[in-house]
Structure 1
Amino acid sequence: MNKFCYSILFLFFSALAFAQEISPDAVMQKVKSEVEKGNFDNALSLIEPLRVKFPQDEDIQVYTGRIYSWKKEYQTALKIIKPLTDRSNPNPDALLAVINIYYWSEQWDSCVQYCDKYLAVNPQDAEVLKIKVNCLEKLNRNQEALEIIDGLPVTENSTQAFRGIRTLIGRKAKNAVSVSYLNVSTSDPGQSPFHYGYAEYSHKFSKSAIVGRANIGHANNDTQMLFETDYYQTFKNKSYLYANAGISTGETVFPIAKGGLEYYFAPYKKFDFSLGARFMHFDASDITLLTGQLAYNAGSYSIAYRPYYDTENELFSHVLSLQKTNEEKESVIRLELQYGNVPYLYLYNGFTAPLKAYRAGIQYQHRLGDSFFVRPIFLYEYEEYIPGEYRNRFNVQLIVTKRF
């Protein structure tokens, strides 16, 4: 009888213990549920006992390390996962986890090293290739990054991610050359067209840039040159200073001498501000323009207002612009509405009078390949050329740029 009772008790407690034994799969489901809610500490409290109980289960080890990485406890995550990668037959999921940890923690060299380990087994994995290319770009190993992208199938290297990396690499180019031609024509009544052109070279330094430009203009049967320099200096707070100086070979087509300064303040939320002045010296008079800009940025769109005040003639001019920019394609489309004696580019002569002018313009920038840009510009003016008399004025310009 006693043996029978002991047997019953043994079966009862065995069944109770078995009922209390929780399945690892059930625990992992609960862990993943907590992770989805962002409750990483709760998830760790559930998975850590499993990791201790089943040390040979690599899926549990890798997932534990991932949770620590999502908590940004990168060193703890690496301590758990790296033993599964630093061996002759690395665990592929562990490799992916380590790649992400090094990428998130901006350890670019180590990330590239483990990408290579993974790609030795899975050479066509697009996501790992994308991470490696991003790391190479961060390390300024740009040619290696481009070679990887160029070696991918068209369906891959033309994706948004790889196009974006190409753009980032392209923007690191230190040098650029541009050429431009501008034709200014009038009708009702008309006169001989004016012709303007320039060639410029720009070079970027770490925190500054300099541009040298040679302009040529033919107007009223006279041809003159204008030589000028632009200088940009950036500051730690994301503000920058623009300076310009130039001197010409004549007195009518261009100013005899010109200069300008404008300070662009650090952006405030979605707003940009600037204040500046332009100075032009002519044979008969000097002209000072006070200017500035207020711009509002909303995603890829920007709307800006820029006034000009001619202190010599006490004239106000206004420019309102709407611009859409595609950062990845480096394309720009810009619409402008202008009123008053606005200086179009460098064209501002000494024969200014308080006459009205209404303008509407459009310009578009398009990138060809990785380094060529074309920018056509069209500006229509309804111009008061003598008091009470108006005519049409057409400004058509093309700018071509090559960076390298």
Structure 2
Amino acid sequence: MMHHAQIAQRAFNTPLMVDPAKALAFLSGLGPRITGQEISFAGLDWGAAGQGTAVVAGRGSIFGTDLTQRNQQNRTQPFAMIDGIAVIEIAGTLVHRGAWIGQSSGLTSYEGIAAQLQAALADPSVRGIALDIDSFGGEVAGAFDLADRIRAARAQKPVHAFVAEHALSAGYVLASQADRITLPRTGAVGSIGVVALHTDMSGALDQKGIAVTLIHAGAHKIDANPYQPLPEAVHDKMQSQLESVRQLFAQTVAEGRGGRLDAAAALATEAAVFRGADAVAAGLADEVSDPVAAFRTFAAAPRGTTSPSRKRSMMTDKPTDATGPANVLSASSTGGAAPPTNTSEVPAAAGPDASAPNAPAMSADAVRAEAAEVAQVCAQAARLGVTIDAADAVTRGLKPEALRSRVLADLAARSDAAGIVASAPAAAAAAKDSPIIAAAKKAAAASR
């Protein structure tokens, strides 16, 4: 019964970011054990089914110190490591504290995820972080602090979220902070909303002849207690609190998604769930793909080992939320004749210093950074209808400047050049006879 009381405290009269169907399944399974009898649901139309069980796994700390020491002593890592990518599992019901990884318990704690994230960032052998997500959500407490940590981690190492099959409510709070979200055709994301459960036991107590007297100090001390019907004023106050959390939810999603999904659009979903291509169209995800294949591309891209047959490798340490032509050309544009129209015709020594006979070898970090920039240019170009094989470009050592020039030429040839703004150093911008700009203007004029 002590465990039931603890469960009741975490489930009732507190905001939850969890899919309502899962909440009802939980109540159907554990509700009778908590209350001692069958329960009914007021104001909810979903059918409740299934039973839930929870076994709390080993404890951790929100500071990660105990886990870090344990891992150092045992010379182990608190996450799976695949091809230099730390895989952090976010599965089942999400709770603030009380469970480490929780693979067998059905729980995953925010403190455990944070500890794994911290370890991955500190480990020099980790080149990127993959969030393996399958969760219907969980507790509000701790979720937004962890979201901030995930978003901050992107400044140090690429973070991609792979949804298989659900990232709903609190699960989506975490997924939305990754550089990129990939989900399968049947994958579901969203549920940007908050729910609270209140149980009214007064009728059952009356039937059993049990009277509960609440002696309290402080007018709001017994608000939302389970022994009395919920007063309208308390209901309205709880509703207001839930709306505040929903606003924070939307703002956090917007900070993680950048220009792909703003706070207003997040709120406009009204906590709906989006699947597959619909999620991408709504801005809640970036790609529909088999998570395993997408992960392999993510893991291979930094080293340029992705198979050339795989298009648009997406390993990047920056959010790919810029989709306009100006962003594809954000670096200095190169002058000279219009570049070729496919990567096989772009010389490998397209960079400004690549042809120098005594050019120093690039460091591993520099190679990875350049590969990430190439992948970003290819992804942005794809949104403009220009397809470039990122893996092939990285393998052949093509420079980002050459790829940007190619995008300019292709767009100009399609008479789309009128909207292109090529940013360049002040001296280059002052030159009026740039062949690329002249060609773009000529193509735009011919299309009128």
The answer, yes or no, to whether TM exceeds 0.5 is no
* Higher RCO (CA 8 Å, separation ≥ 6 residues): 2
TM-score (norm 2): 0.21
- Name whichever structure is richer in helix by fraction: 2
- Name whichever structure is richer in strand by fraction: 1
TM-score (norm 1): 0.23
